[in-house]
Amino acid sequence: MGCECSRLASCCWSGQNGPVHEAQNPDDEERAEVSDLPTFREFTVEQLRISTSGFAVENIVSEHGEKAPNVVYKGKLDNQRRVAVKRFNRSAWPDSRQFLEEARSVGLLRNNRLANLLGCCCEGDERLLVAEFMPNETLAKHLFHWETQPMKWAMRLRVALYLAQALEYCTNKGRVLYHDLNAYRILFDEEGNPRLSCFGLMKNSRDGKSYSTNLAFTPPEYLRTGRITPESVMYSFGTLLLDLLSGKHIPPSHALDLIKERNLQMLTDSCLEGQFSSDDGTELVRIASRCLQYEPRERPNAKSLVAALFPLQKETEVPSHALMGVSRDGETMSLSPLGEACLRMDLTAIHEILEKLGYKDDEGAATELSFQMWTNQMQETLNSKKKGDAAFRHKDAKAAIECYTQFIDVGTMVSPTVYARRSLSYLMSDMPQEALNDAVQAQVISPVWHIASYLQAASLFALGREKDAQIALKEGSVLEEKKNTNS
């Protein structure tokens, strides 16, 4: 498997009671500070409702789904920044002042090893947190439930180092406690780099419990006292090192038994065969063993973990997205004709596709129209829409905007297609901001409609916001692929 088990066991066990040596870390202590993020702010419930398309089920990204006590949604703010919105259940955080103080404190942190907290909402019974959105899923997904390729050894070592650096940064900033550190708390950004979720820096619930996972993975002192300490975080870090080494979620007691019995073949992921030396395996097991010491005072701190993990790094010149096998935004995307048209800003081609599609994607709209046609006001509204459709067909953008606006302003019926058509009409009239607003509104009405994302991309390209446009383009491509798969 790429390392000699007997030698690995012997080296690991003989050195288990030694210190984790501190090596010189060439990076500055305040490395990875980020300044391009907005300052922490407070949001209203309505702002977050709009950003998540009404807390749509389709936008849930947390592992436990709609019935979980605290659900995480993906969302998009007015400025098109993608965010993760954590919505607590109504019994959590009864003390609004405590919630705001905690959130503001965590919101002061800014580091590219963290999925940073951008804001919160404390309105009535609602308690929500808003963080950077990480598009490439969790460590648990890539480690335990991979589909295309197992995580490479070099990437596992990078995850360990980046996580240690995140904890070191938080410690230096006075946030020494992290609640329920596990593989679901480590996320991957658009570049494939691992980030530590800021949500774990906040207490989990009303009773202040710090661990919700299986008791077999809980630090022994927490079981005794019910309190989390900095040393408890180190214990959890040790369990993560075991996850990285084994590719499975092995209880620490079982892993330590395997180490004592020198049965490390059972501990090491068979997918890693040939990828690492026995010396590297020895060192990683030694560090994990130190973190899992029963006595908290015998565990290392975050700074010494960084120093110990830094020399182990492999393939440092290879970017994370390459090691992970994930594509960056806008890279190697397979685009449909509509996606290609939006990428090229070919408004004629976009118009042709939208005209051909018609109103097929307006679920239930036709039925609603037929029921309400008997009123004079509704008849006038439908006439406005028909005139708008005729103008759109003949590429009379100005008339289409005017007629569709009359239809929308009445507010009786909601049609994502009308917003999409008016969006393109605005693009044809060199009004990209108005086009973007309509494309966003179309997605609010229909959260998984790929055309809304594509039109956002076209509008963002017109506004010169290349990076945001590429993100929207990728989102549209993913949604379209899902729709085609389901149909």
Can you give the pLDDT of all 487 residues of the chain as single tens digits? Answer: 444 343 344 444 444 444 454 444 444 445 566 667 889 999 999 999 999 989 988 889 876 555 556 889 999 998 888 999 999 887 778 888 999 999 999 999 999 999 999 999 999 989 999 999 998 999 999 999 887 789 999 999 999 999 999 999 999 999 999 988 999 999 999 899 999 999 999 875 444 456 555 666 788 888 888 888 899 999 999 999 999 998 888 888 777 877 776 667 777 888 888 888 888 888 898 999 999 999 999 999 999 999 999 999 999 999 998 888 876 654 545 788 998 899 889 999 999 999 999 988 886 544 344 444 455 566 777 888 899 999 999 999 999 999 999 988 887 778 899 999 999 999 999 999 999 999 999 988 888 899 999 999 999 999 998 888 888 888 898 888 888 887 6
> CA 204 to CA 172: how far, in whole Å?
22
Distances (CA, A) of 391 to 7, 413, 437, 441: 78, 20, 21, 21
DSSP states of 266-288: GTS-GGGTTSS-HHHHHHHHHHH
**Can 180 be counted among the known catalytic residues?**
yes
Predicted local confidence at residue 379, as pLDDT: 73
Q: Which two tokens stand for residue 453?
A: 């994302």
Predicted local confidence at residue 362, as pLDDT: 84
> CA 243 to CA 250: how far, in whole Å?
7
Beta carbons of 458 and 446 less than 8 angstroms apart:
no
User: 376: exposed, middle or buried (C-beta count within 10 Å: 0-12, 13-18, 19+)?
Assistant: exposed
Predicted local confidence at residue 413, as pLDDT: 76
> CA 280 to CA 209: how far, in whole Å?
36
> CA 22 to CA 298: how far, in whole Å?
15
* Residue 94, phi then psi, degrees to nearest 5: -65, -25
- Which one of the listed residues 78, 125, 180, 269 is annotated catalytic? 180
Beta carbons of 268 and 282 less than 8 angstroms apart:
no
In 3D space, the residue among 16, 24, 27, 6 whose CA is nearest the CA of residue 283 turns out to be: 16
Q: Which two tokens stand for residue 434?
A: 């108005």
> CA 10 to CA 259: how far, in whole Å?
9
Beta carbons of 255 and 242 less than 8 angstroms apart:
yes
Q: In 108-175, which ranges are continuous DSSP H helix?
A: 139-144, 153-172
Q: How far apart are the first and last CA of the chain?
A: 43
Q: What pTM was computed for the model?
A: 0.75
> CA 296 to CA 15: how far, in whole Å?
18
User: 340: exposed, middle or buried (C-beta count within 10 Å: 0-12, 13-18, 19+)?
Assistant: middle
* Residue 449, phi then psi, degrees to nearest 5: -80, 115
Within 8 A by CB and 6+ apart from 126, the residues are 45, 87, 90
Beta carbons of 81 and 74 less than 8 angstroms apart:
no
Within 8 A by CB and 6+ apart from 358, the residues are 417
Beta carbons of 181 and 200 less than 8 angstroms apart:
yes
Q: In 145-301, which ranges are continuous DSSP H helix?
A: 153-172, 220-225, 230-246, 252-260, 278-291
β-bridge pairing 41-42 and 117-123: parallel
Residue 338's CB is within 10 A of a number of other CB atoms, namely 23
Give the dihedral sign, CA 30/31/36/37: negative
The tokens 């302003």 sit on which residue? 409
Q: Edge-to-edge strand order for the sheet containing 41-42?
A: 41-42, 117-123, 126-132, 82-87, 71-76
Dihedral-angle region of residue 125 (phi above 0 means left; psi in -120 to 50 means alpha; beta otherwise): alpha
User: What's the angle, vertex CA 444, arms to CA 439 and CA 446, rounded to 5?
Assistant: 90
Instruction: Indicate the angle between helix axes 302-309 and 153-172, nearest 10 degrees.
Output: 150
